[in-house]
Structures are given as C-alpha cells and as structure tokens.
Amino acid sequence: MSFSKWVFVVFVLHLLNPCPVRFSYGSSSSNGLSDIPKKLLNFAKRQELVGWMIGIRRKIHQNPELGYQEFETSQLIRSELDKMGIKYKHSVAVTGVVGFIGTGEPPFVALRADMDSLPLQEMVEWEYKSKIPGKMHACGHDGHVTMLLGAAKILQEHREELKGTVVLVFQPAEEGGGGAHKVLEAGVLEKVNAIFGLHVDPNLPIGEVASRPGPLLAGSGFFEAVIGGKGGHAAIPQHSIDPILAASNVIVSLQHLVSREADPLDSQVNSINCFLCFFLAFPSFLCVLKFFNVFGILSSCECRQP
C-alpha cells in the first residue's frame, strides 16, 4: 500500500477508534491494524482511488501558484469536494477552503494541508514538470493537497461512522505569507479540539510515518538590517569605511546565538539568506536580510541580543 493510503488509514483510525494505536507499516497483522475495519482498508486499496490521487497530484504539480494566488488550486479542491458532496466554506484567508464531514457536532478534529508553491524554476525534465516558469511545487504541497483530498474521500465514504466532525483545512500562503494566521483570524477553527498536519519527507522510506514528542519542524522569522559605512572605490579602501566587512563579521557573530546562547540540547537554526552588495565599489549602506528557523516558542524567546 502506498504511503498516502497508509496515512489516510492512520487518520481515519484515530477518528473511528478512541483507543491509542501503535501503527506499524511493516506488518498488516499487527495489533494496531487488526482493529481497522476491513471495509476501510479495502476502500484505501482500490486502484481507482490510487489513480485518481496520482492524477490530482500531477495536475497541481504542473500548475503551481504562489501564496494567496492559489485560485486554480482552490477551484480544483472545491470541484472535487462538490463531487464528493462535502460542504465547505470558500474564500477563507483569500484562497483557502475549509470543508466539513460528519455530524456537525463536537468533537471537531481538523486535518490541514498547505496549497502554495515556491518561486523556483523546476530543472528536472519529466512529463509532469511545472508549466509555469519560475514557479514550482518544490516543498510537496501538491502532495499535501492530494493527501487531504484522498482522506476526505475515505472519510466521506464512512461519514456515518464518525462520532463528531472532521474539518478539512486547505491553507494558503504557508511559504512565508502568514496563511495560517489568516485562517485563525477567519474564525473557522474556533470549535476545533485538535488539528493534524503532515509533511512529506524524501528522507523517509516509502510507507513510513514519523513523529516525536515535543516540537517538530520549525517556525520562521524575518528581519532586515542596514549596516552603514562610507562609500568609496575598492582600490583605495583606506578612504572608505567598508560595510561589507562589518556585515561579514555580523553574519559570523550571529551564529554565536546558537552555539553560545542556546541550550545545546535545543535544536535551532540561524541562517542568513540574502546579502546585498556592489561590484568594484564600497557602498555607503549595505542591506542584510536575515531568515531564521527555531524549534518551539521558548527557543525563540530565550535567544538574547548579542
């Protein structure tokens, strides 16, 4: 069984069975899987479901859209939900879609997928590569949308067995656009008791789902710093104050926030992703953009100014 189908089985199992479950892909006769209704497994194994999902994913991959511009992706999602008979709210956080399956009563459990692509050129030549120059689903959001639509199809087929409501959250603008915050502001998650999201990982074997206690995956933040100097020609540096050299020292020193200011057992990443400079001449000002990732709210707050 493919990775996506096993993921759907895990989601549905938690919704249909209130008991804790240990999930192992390697053995279909394990204690966890023996409790899954046979009809659920049989539905997940249907070749027409697999083929449909592959087609959805390829269509989205070929037509990537950036944050808050996911109009065609949103239309595709709504079209598929309409075919399934699933009610939804549209234009949530500009292009987002939020669907509902089940009784309409508590508990409310949400499943979330992001929709946007990245401003990258797809360099791999294959039949289903991006058709949009400078845009690509390089972070797997095409797969995330497909997985959630597949989960929706399975859950809708078994909606009579749900003891509560599943909320399907198709979120725009995950790639730095603050789409999650706008979804929260829209109020569509106010009744939600728990929310689950998955991210594809090419480093994991197919069919394996991984997690761990505590924070997993990173939050991000941005800031811009302008370092002042005195402009001049590179051939006569003695008449200038070089902001490039100063900025280089700043970049190196910022790494001390992780190596000397943070708990060594606490995962943190500090990265400079943009450094603007000039050719042949020292500028009067140098702009440095910083992008950083942190694990957990406490990690971010405990970093002191150097």
- What percent of the chain lies above the pLDDT cut of 90? 48
d(CA 125, CA 287): 36
Where do you find CATH 3.40.630.10 in the chain?
3-197
Where do you find CATH 3.30.70.360 in the chain?
219-302
- 3-197: CATH class: alpha beta
* Mean pLDDT, the chain, whole residue set: 81
Q: Any idea which architecture 219-302 has in CATH? A: 2-Layer Sandwich (3.30)
pLDDT digits (tens, 9 = 90+) for 127-161: 999 999 999 999 999 999 999 999 999 999 999 88
Enclosing H/E stretch for 73: helix 71-84
* Token pair of 177 as six digits: 């656009």
Highest mean pLDDT among 134-143, 209-218, 275-284: 134-143
Grade residue 230 by pLDDT with cuts at 50, 70 and 90.
Answer: confident
Q: What is the pLDDT at residue 42?
A: 80
- 86 Cβ contact list (under 8 Å, min separation 6): 99, 100, 101, 152, 156, 168
